[in-house]
Amino acid sequence: MKSLFVAGTGTDIGKTHVACALIRALRLRGQSIDAFKPVVSGFDPDDPDVSDPGRLAQALDEPGALHRISPRRYRAPLAPNLAAALEGDVLSLDDLVGDCQDRLARPDRDLLLIEGAGGVMSPMTDTATNLDLMVALNLPVLLVAGSYLGTVSHVLTALEVIRSRGLSVTAIVMSESLAAPDLGQTGRMLRGFETRAPLILAPRDTSWSATELADLTFPQATKDEAAKVH
């Protein structure tokens, strides 16, 4: 089973927006997809559909999959370790890694997306960040950024720390921020400093199809390649 870790340069920059669009695009191509978000905070059990796992479940067309997608759900809109503490729980990196590895061990889908919480360096436990979880899992990274003023610095910083820990970046997706500079202009500015990973621009539009990202994730065979198969 192919797997990607969906990481962000910060909080509320569009990780779930991008993940849902990729899920829909690949499902249209007949790929079987699943999503896993090991911990989520700011979760309202009275309105689960607006949460990150709720949106992922809708993209998967599996409305009953909330528990499978996010087994650790906390109400407070705080860092996961703080939200967990308010409910009497203590998050540990070993537990989060174990949850992810259990899901990775079930090769029942073509692709599994594991989505982090917050930014690359956001705390997940009292002593571990998203990056620590990413390193432990050692999966290719899909890095999602915003298009706000200052995002180029945040992207380059995130790339530096991700690569310094030996992780590979499959692609960078710049998700459009509201009331921000022009998305295309910001993307071109980033491309002047980062040329290694593909850069995809993602308008904040529910009709964005993520076709280009789907092509990177599961490249479609050319006519010549398909002829060789048959």
From the list 15, 37, 223, 228, the catalytic residue is 37
Helices (H), the chain: 15-28, 52-60, 66-69, 80-86, 93-104, 130-137, 151-164, 183-191, 211-217, 223-229
Question: Can you name the residues that pair with 200 across neighbouring β-strands?
Answer: 173
Dist. CA 14–CA 146, nearest whole Å: 7
CA distances (Å), origin 28, targets 21, 22, 24, 74, 75:
11, 10, 6, 32, 33
d(CA 73, CA 131): 20
List the beta bridge partners of residue 34: 112
* Rounded Cα gap, residues 89 and 96, in angstroms: 13
228 is known as an active-site residue: no
Active-site amino acid positions = 37
